Amino acid sequence: AQTVTQSQPEMSVQEAETVTLSCTYDTSESDYYLFWYKQPPSRQMILVIRQEAYKQQNATENRFSVNFQKAAKSFSLKISDSQLGDAAMYFCARSLYTGTASKLTFGTGTRLQVTL
Amino acid sequence: DTAVSQTPKYLVTQMGNDKSIKCEQNLGHDTMYWYKQDSKKFLKIMFSYNNKELIINETVPNRFSPKSPDKAHLNLHINSLELGDSAVYFCASSLLRGPLHFGNGTRLTVT
């Protein structure tokens, strides 16, 4: 089975500190994308960052960056200068393409708490 | 201005009933999806349509029937609702190699 694994059910970080959320995935495909989505209590699914598998350079979006290790099939998310608004469930996801659709497989999520 | 909108936000119904959830996107995307998020927050794809054509049909009971009247709309009809159908259902859309844009979800509660 081609799975996505998030081994940290919960993480906690102090405001202004840095936290890293782990994700590993399994795939035999060479053409795929990786994503981190955030789901706050409002339950909206918000795209945080994405990484194309063919790109070696790690993606960065403001305070969010990834460490993409393709050989190890690892895709961790680093949040710098954590803010109270970062508190949410974070889902790692891997997409595969079926020609005309993208099949996104999600991990089980990591609940991030941000403390004062 | 809402990119992917789904209605209703909440749906409470009794076992055995039939219900529908509607979804519309104004992003001009060709592909739309239905995902189910269970009580443990696990998200799983149910269906995907590209320009009204069914592309992905995961192992979903045939009580669930998606319908896409045009590429901007993808509705989900559920027959003979069961307790286990209680979940949050997300509609999403995307360009082929783009990220999915999700609606705000419909929380379905079957009593």
A42 touches chain B (CB under 8 A): yes
Yes or no, beta carbons of A33 and B97 under 8 Å apart:
yes
Picking from B58, B49, B75, the residue whose alpha carbon sits closest to that of residue A100 is B49
- To the nearest whole Å, the CA of A115 is away from the closest chain B CA by 23
Asked if residue A82 lies in contact with residue A13, where contact means CB atoms within 8 angstroms, the answer is yes
Task: Write the CA distances from B81 to B10, B43, B44, integer angstroms.
Answer: 15, 20, 19
A108 touches chain B (CB under 8 A): yes
Q: Is A86 helix (H, G, I), strand (E, B) or coil?
A: helix
pLDDT recorded at residue B1: 62
Question: How confident is the model over B22-31, as pLDDT tens digits?
Answer: 999 999 998 9
B59 touches chain A (CB under 8 A): no
Average pLDDT, chain B: 93
Yes or no, beta carbons of A108 and B45 under 8 Å apart:
no
Kindly identify which residue of chain A lies nearest to residue B35, measuring between CA atoms: A104
User: Quick one: chain A helix, strand, coil %, rounded to 5?
Assistant: 5, 55, 45
pLDDT recorded at residue A74: 96
> What backbone phi and psi angles, to 5 degrees, belong to B54?
-70, 125
Could you give the CA distance from residue B100 to residue A46 in angstroms, rounded to a whole number? 9
Yes or no, beta carbons of A102 and B100 under 8 Å apart:
yes
Output B97 or B83, whichever has higher pLDDT: B83
pLDDT recorded at residue B56: 85
Q: How far is CA A70 from the centre of its chain?
A: 14
Kindly identify which residue of chain A lies nearest to residue B29, measuring between CA atoms: A101
Tokens 């992917």, residue?
B4
Q: Give residue A2's pLDDT band: very low, low, confident or very high (50, 70, 90).
A: low
Question: How confident is the model over A32-57, as pLDDT tens digits?
Answer: 999 999 999 999 999 999 999 999 89
Q: Tokens at residue A112, please?
A: 């991030």
Contacts of B30 in chain A (CB under 8 A): 100
Question: How confident is the model over A62-102, as pLDDT tens digits?
Answer: 999 999 999 999 999 999 999 999 999 999 999 988 777 78
Q: Which amino acid is at A62?
A: N
Could you give the CA distance from residue B41 to residue A107 in angstroms, rounded to a whole number? 10
Number of other CB atoms surrounding residue B110 within 10 Å: 19
Q: Please report, rounded to a whole number, the percentage of residues in chain B having pLDDT higher than 90.
A: 81
